[in-house]
């Protein structure tokens, strides 16, 4: 990081180096303020491709970039790796694991966490997918289960080891289910002697009437068909009643499965709950004003998944990467204008309006659905669009190159490189992953 020369400049503290925080820093003019970006991880993570790490398609380093490396030579920028534990909105101070930081402006871009809808005890048996550690845990769980099945003499236990249940039929659940069906049927099917991985049962459970509920119904139906073609059993309109070691109960029926993955709920990062006197939505997101500031605190902005807003067009802003990046840009421009001497009251600040560039989900090799400004695509064309968009938004040339190489390799060889099992200390621990 470049030496900090701006001690007398106003100080902006940014909590979170995710899509919103990184975009804020990128867009903010480097000479107007001193910025400290603080994150409990040392890297920016491209969450849309996490499922590919979980399903052995990509390696962890392909989708993460060290924050220090991204902003290498930028002046007036400090990077701190630490967890923020408290925010004092009156004293204008942030407390982190190793100290305190005073701020003139604060940007809360702490993102979200997996939510188990009031059942945190399910987390032990059904990992969510939010961080690299989560993705590696899921990959280990699946690969270790198949290793166990290979030598398991008891047919009931062997079947449980070869059962995968994904809870939640949104984009993450659909992508994980498609990728796991493909992994077991077209990649791992050649690797084992005693078991046939193409017999692995992959079930996708969705509480609502259709998968991908945020997409038009025709694309939901199309996604369902593409999943079923890959061998995924799609169960809609059924609710999970409990999750326990070795299985779960769905609509009164017990399912034995050693591999249960939670893709059902997202809540805001817990730090939002430590803000005294600030109104939160269900799930903990901060209800922000149209300019993205926190009510009563014009120097504090909340962005991305940590914020809840109905935008200037009267539409709720979705919890997606594009929205987080656009919010980062909006807040950066607002603060920069103020620091340049443009005086407008919080109510007079420009309101945020989300520009929806479309949504997409991929369903394994050569299959996807995309809704781009009302234009619906499915199958191979949607998959090509998905591929290009994800490559475009990945941070860093090395990542783009490495991901493109991995995808080309898997496309032509039906193999996946990232299948090494790590983090297993001994024979007995293989099941718990
Ligand atoms: C598996 C998965 C797939 C997804 N797929 C898509 C997709 O295909 N398309 C799409 O548009 N969106 C997708 N999303 C959603 C998208 O990733 C999020 O909307 C986006 O990351 C939100 O950006 P953010 O900046 O608000 O938060 P994040 O990107 O989550 O960043 C928050 C950062 O804050 C840090 N942080 C949190 N709490 C603290 C603390 N107390 N102290 C210090 N640091 C802290 C975190 O470590 C993290 O780096 C997906 C999400 C997931 C989990």
Is residue 13's pLDDT more than 90?
Answer: yes
Domain shared by 250 and 289, yes or no: no
What ligand 1 atom has the least distance to the C-alpha of 112? 30
What pLDDT is attached to residue 425?
A: 65
pLDDT tens digit string along 275-294? 999 999 989 999 999 999 99
Residue 70 is assigned to a structural domain of this protein: no
Choice among 7-21, 73-87, 212-226, 400-414 with the minimum mean pLDDT = 400-414
Residue 346 pLDDT class (50, 70, 90 cuts): low
State the DSSP string of 67-101: HHHHTTT-TTEEEEE--EEEEETTTTEEEETTEEE
Is residue 433's pLDDT more than 70?
Answer: no
Cα of 383 vs centre of ligand 1, distance in Å, is 23
Which of 348, 383, 398 is at the close of a domain? 348
CATH of the domain at 334: 3.50.50.60
State the CB neighbour count (10 A cutoff) for residue 19: 29
- How confident is the model over 75-85, as a mean pLDDT? 97
What pLDDT is attached to residue 7?
A: 60
Q: State which of 80, 177, 269 you would mutate to test the pocket of ligand 1, scoring each by most atoms of that ligand within 8 A of its C-beta.
A: 269
Domain shared by 104 and 165, yes or no: no
Tell me which H or E stretch contains 371.
Answer: strand 368-372
Residue 304 pLDDT class (50, 70, 90 cuts): very high
Is residue 130's pLDDT more than 80?
Answer: yes
Choice among 14-18, 93-97, 386-390 with the minimum mean pLDDT = 386-390
Nearest-CA residue for atom 17 of ligand 1: 47
What pLDDT is attached to residue 430?
A: 38
Cα of 143 vs centre of ligand 1, distance in Å, is 26
Residue 315 is assigned to a structural domain of this protein: yes
Encoded tokens for 232: 């995924």
Identify each DSSP E strand in 16-169 by its residue range. 34-39, 43-45, 64-66, 77-81, 84-88, 93-96, 99-102, 105-108, 112-114, 163-167
Output b/e per residue, 309-338; b: 16+ Cβ within 10 A: bebeeeeebebbbbbbbbbbbbbbbbbeeb
Is residue 269's pLDDT more than 70?
Answer: yes
Residue 5 pLDDT class (50, 70, 90 cuts): low
Residue 353 is assigned to a structural domain of this protein: no
Cα of 97 vs centre of ligand 1, distance in Å, is 21
What pLDDT is attached to residue 384?
A: 92
- How confident is the model over 99-119, as a mean pLDDT? 96
- List the catalytic residues: 175
Domain shared by 335 and 310, yes or no: yes
- How confident is the model over 68-91, as a mean pLDDT? 95
Q: State which of 18, 84, 283 you would mutate to test the pocket of ligand 1, scoring each by most atoms of that ligand within 8 A of its C-beta.
A: 18
Is residue 208's pLDDT more than 60?
Answer: yes
Which of 348, 383, 408 is at the close of a domain? 348
Cα of 318 vs centre of ligand 1, distance in Å, is 13
Domain shared by 418 and 284, yes or no: no
Residue 432 pLDDT class (50, 70, 90 cuts): very low
Residue 48 is assigned to a structural domain of this protein: no
Domain shared by 339 and 416, yes or no: no
What ligand 1 atom has the least distance to the C-alpha of 129? 1
pLDDT tens digit string along 351-390? 999 999 999 999 988 899 999 988 999 999 999 999 999 9
What pLDDT is attached to residue 17?
A: 98
State the CB neighbour count (10 A cutoff) for residue 54: 29
Residue 107 is assigned to a structural domain of this protein: yes
What ligand 1 atom has the least distance to the C-alpha of 303? 26
Residue 176 is assigned to a structural domain of this protein: yes
Contact predicate 8/60, CB 8 Å = no
Domain shared by 175 and 229, yes or no: yes
Q: Please name every residue paired with 43 in a beta bridge, in sequence order, or none if there are none.
A: 66
Share of the chain above pLDDT 90, in %: 80
Taking the C-alpha atoms of residue 138 and residue 144, their distance in angstroms, rounded to an integer, is 10
pLDDT tens digit string along 400-409? 888 888 888 8
Share of the chain above pLDDT 70, in %: 95
Q: Which residues lie with the beta carbon below 6 Å from any ligand 1 atom?
A: 15-21, 38-41, 47-48, 50-51, 83-84, 109-112, 129-130, 171-172, 269, 271, 304-306, 319-322, 324
**Is beta strand 253-256 parallel, antiparallel or unpaired with respect to 247-250?**
antiparallel
Domain housing 324: 11-40+82-114+267-348
What pLDDT is attached to residue 243?
A: 97
Question: C-alpha angle 176/180/182, rounded to 5°?
Answer: 120
Domain shared by 318 and 278, yes or no: yes
Residue 26 is assigned to a structural domain of this protein: yes
CATH of the domain at 426: 3.50.50.100
- Nearest to 228, CA basis, from 367, 34, 48: 367
- Nearest to 261, CA basis, from 168, 361, 136: 168
Cα of 67 vs centre of ligand 1, distance in Å, is 14
- How confident is the model over 101-105, as a mean pLDDT? 98
Domain shared by 136 and 228, yes or no: yes
pLDDT: is 407 or 88 the higher one? 88
Residue 88 is assigned to a structural domain of this protein: yes
What pLDDT is attached to residue 397?
A: 67
Q: Please name every residue paired with 34 in a beta bridge, in sequence order, or none if there are none.
A: 11
Domain shared by 302 and 421, yes or no: no
Is residue 427's pLDDT more than 60?
Answer: no
Taking the C-alpha atoms of residue 336 and residue 28, their distance in angstroms, rounded to an integer, is 7
Contact predicate 118/128, CB 8 Å = no
Residue 431 pLDDT class (50, 70, 90 cuts): very low
pLDDT: is 117 or 201 the higher one? 201
Domain shared by 95 and 108, yes or no: yes
Cα of 112 vs centre of ligand 1, distance in Å, is 6
Number of domains in the chain: 2
Identify each DSSP E strand in 150-309 by its residue range. 163-167, 201-206, 232-236, 240-244, 247-250, 253-256, 259-262, 266-268, 286-287, 293-294, 297-302, 307-308
Nearest-CA residue for atom 21 of ligand 1: 321
Domain shared by 303 and 325, yes or no: yes
What pLDDT is attached to residue 1?
A: 53
Domain shared by 126 and 32, yes or no: no
State the CB neighbour count (10 A cutoff) for residue 388: 10
Residue 333 pLDDT class (50, 70, 90 cuts): very high
pTM of the full predicted structure? 0.93
Mean pLDDT of the chain: 92
């Amino acid at each position: 990081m470049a030496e900090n020369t701006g001690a007398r400049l106003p100080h902006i503290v940014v909590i979170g180096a995710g899509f919103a925080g990184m975009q804020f820093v990128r867009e903010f003019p480097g000479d107007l303020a001193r910025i400290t970006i603080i994150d409990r991880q040392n890297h920016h993570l491209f969450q849309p491709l996490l499922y590919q790490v979980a399903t052995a398609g990509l390696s962890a380093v392909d989708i993460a970039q060290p924050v220090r490396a991204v902003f290498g030579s930028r002046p007036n920028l400090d990077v701190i790796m630490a967890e923020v534990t408290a925010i004092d909105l009156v004293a204008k101070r942030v407390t982190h694991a190793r100290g305190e930081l005073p701020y003139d402006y604060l940007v809360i871009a702490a993102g979200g966490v997996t939510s188990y809808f009031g059942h945190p005890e399910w987390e032990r048996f059904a990992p969510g997918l939010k961080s690299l550690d989560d993705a590696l845990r899921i990959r280990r769980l699946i690969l270790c289960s198949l290793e166990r099945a290979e030598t398991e003499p008891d047919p009931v236990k062997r079947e449980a080891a070869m059962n995968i249940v994904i809870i939640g039929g949104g984009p993450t659940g659909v992508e994980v289910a498609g990728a796991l069906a493909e992994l077991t049927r077209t990649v791992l099917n050649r690797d084992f002697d005693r078991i046939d991985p193409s017999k692995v049962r992959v079930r996708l459970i969705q509480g609502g009437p259709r998968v991908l509920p945020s997409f038009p119904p025709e694309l939901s139906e199309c996604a369902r068909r593409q999943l079923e073609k890959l061998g995924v059993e799609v169960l809609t309109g059924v609710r999970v009643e409990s999750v326990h070691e070795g299985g779960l109960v769905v609509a009164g029926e017990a399912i034995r499965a050693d591999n249960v993955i939670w893709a059902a709920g997202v809540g805001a990062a817990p730090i939002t709950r430590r803000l005294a006197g600030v109104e939160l939505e269900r799930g903990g997101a901060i209800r922000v004003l149209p300019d993205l500031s926190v009510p009563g605190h014009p120097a504090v902005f909340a962005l991305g998944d940590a914020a809840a807003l109905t935008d200037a067009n009267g539409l709720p802003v979705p919890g997606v990467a594009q929205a987080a990046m656009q919010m980062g840009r909006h807040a950066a421009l607002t603060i920069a204008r103020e620091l340049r001497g443009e005086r407008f009251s919080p109510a007079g600040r420009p309101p945020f309006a989300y520009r929806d560039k479309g949504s997409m989900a991929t369903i394994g090799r050569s299959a996807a659905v995309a809704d781009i400004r009302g234009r619906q695509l499915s199958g191979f064309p949607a998959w090509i669009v998905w591929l290009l968009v994800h490559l475009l938004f990945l941070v860093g040339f090395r990542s783009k190159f490495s991901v493109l190489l991995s995808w080309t390799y898997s496309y032509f060889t039906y193999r996946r490189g990232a299948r090494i099992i790590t983090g297993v200390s001994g024979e007995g621990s293989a099941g718990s992953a």
